[in-house]
Amino acid sequence: SQRSFYEVSNRRYGMRQLTHNPDTILYALLGVNAAVFMGWQALNSSFMLRHFAFSTEAMRNGRPWTLVTSIFSHYDFQHLAVNALGLYFWGREVGRLLGGPRLLALYLVGGVVGNLVQLGLSYSNERQYRWGQPRATYGLGA
């Protein structure tokens, strides 16, 4: 059966409500952080270093995605927990003030810019790996 315009429109509106909801974005970010942490525990460490840790070497070897993926990496549970608390409390306020899409944008841009700044400060150290969301969380507070 053919769907009416109103059914399609209502479904799109519902999806927009979900993807623009700051709480949905916040919990998705927390979930991705937890999932990547589980990956560090369960997967081959050389795979995770290659794809989820940012370094000068990663950039020279054509892995620019590590600028983003490293934002979600944490080296131990305490690191994850402290950063998740910071993200939860700052992210909740930023999301309420600016909305879900801007929360996501600030988180990602803050993390990428923080990685680039650290890259500039330690460019000669090829294997200094960077991970974790502190730079992304600081971006929310800026």
Instruction: Report how far residue 27's alpha carbon sits from residue 4's, in angstroms, rounded to the nearest whole number.
Output: 33
Q: What angle do CA 106, 37, 92 make, to 5 degrees?
A: 35
Provide the 10 A C-beta neighbour count for residue 89.
12
Residue 133 to residues 51, 54, 62, 73, Cα–Cα distance (Å): 16, 12, 22, 7
Report residue 97 CA to chain centroid gap: 19
pLDDT at residue 8 greater than cutoff 60: no
Per residue in 41-76, pLDDT (tens digit) is: 999 999 999 999 998 889 999 999 999 999 999 989
Residue ranges per structural domain of the chain: 21-141
Q: What is the CATH number assigned to the segment(s) 21-141?
A: 1.20.1540.10
Q: Structure pTM?
A: 0.77
Residue that is written with structure tokens 């109103």 in the block: 6
Q: What percent of the chain has pLDDT over 90?
A: 58
Instruction: Give which of 44, 29, 33 is closest to 107, Cα–Cα.
Output: 29
- Determine the pLDDT at residue 21: 94
Judged by average pLDDT, the poorest of 12-21, 22-31, 71-80, 92-101 is 12-21
